[in-house]
Amino acid sequence: MDNMINSNFAESDSHKKQGVQTGTTTVGLVSKEGIVLASDRRATMGYMIASKDIDKIYAVSDTIGMTIAGGVGDAQTLIRWMQAEIRLYELKHEKSISVEAAATLLANILTQYKFYPFFVQLLIGGVDERPRLFSVDMLGGITEEKVTSTGSGSPFAYGVLEELFKEDKDLESNLLVAAKAVGAAMRRDAASGERVDLVGITKSGFKRYDKEEIKKIISS
């Protein structure tokens, strides 16, 4: 995938033995007309910054996005797997997959491999009849959320989200909330950093905001 490297966002081999270290910050919010996904751009390998410009948010269909935290190899595999399975579903059924069905597919894949787990922590969200957001853990556990965060920076992000998030806000307002939450995490979490990445998903599709657009959102 674009901008991916063969390292870990989060853990070296020694860290894996101690448990999964997600080493990133991702955020998902439900808005009136869509979903906001946000992340930082730093990839780490143990205590080393392996890259300063990594995509952690991907489109798996026209109106569904997925955030990734954890091992890059595992995440790459799951992204390709989900994109292929969703494309096959759409060709077979001649309709778009629902967000819940995509989340269930992802959870089923992870459940099958729970004895040899993918070291990942994922959010998947999008729009069908309405905006929906799901959190999926490495063993296939799935919960529907209105606002959530993953990764080592999530405790700092939640401080902002708990104060500022309102489900009835429009997408533009929640883009600012998500950006502030990731920004707070980057200031306090050593494994999160560089800059904020923002994606908005509506019935019109998947939109990634460029650097200048994000600067305007943050300064608004």
Span 108-137, mean pLDDT? Answer: 94
Q: Which residue has the tokens 């997925």?
A: 66
- Residue 218 CB partners (closer than 8 Å, separation 6+): 176, 179, 180, 183, 196
Does residue 12 register a pLDDT over 50? no
Beta-bridge partner residues of 54: none
What is the number of structural domains in the chain?
A: 1
Is 5 domain-assigned? no
What is the pairing mode between strands 131-136 and 142-145? antiparallel
Span 72-84, mean pLDDT? Answer: 92
Is 3 domain-assigned? no
Query: What pLDDT does residue 13 have?
Result: 41
Is 139 domain-assigned? yes
Is 7 domain-assigned? no
Does residue 56 register a pLDDT over 60? yes
Span 35-50, mean pLDDT? Answer: 88
**CATH code assigned at 48:** 3.60.20.10
Q: Which residues are catalytic?
A: 24
- The pTM score is 0.87
Is 1 domain-assigned? no
Is 92 domain-assigned? yes
Copy the structure tokens of residue 54: 């990594």
- Boundaries of domain holding 175: 13-219
Is 137 domain-assigned? yes
Whole-number Å distance between alpha carbons of 67 and 55: 9
| Torsions phi, psi for 38 (to 5 deg) | -145, 155
**Nearest alpha-carbon partner for 41 in 173, 183, 157, 167:** 183
Structural contact between residues 67 and 106, judged by C-beta atoms closer than 8 angstroms: no
Query: What pLDDT does residue 72 have?
Result: 80
pLDDT per residue as tens digits for the range 90-108 = 999 999 999 999 999 999 9
Is 2 domain-assigned? no
pLDDT per residue as tens digits for the range 15-26 = 443 333 446 899
Copy the structure tokens of residue 169: 């806000």
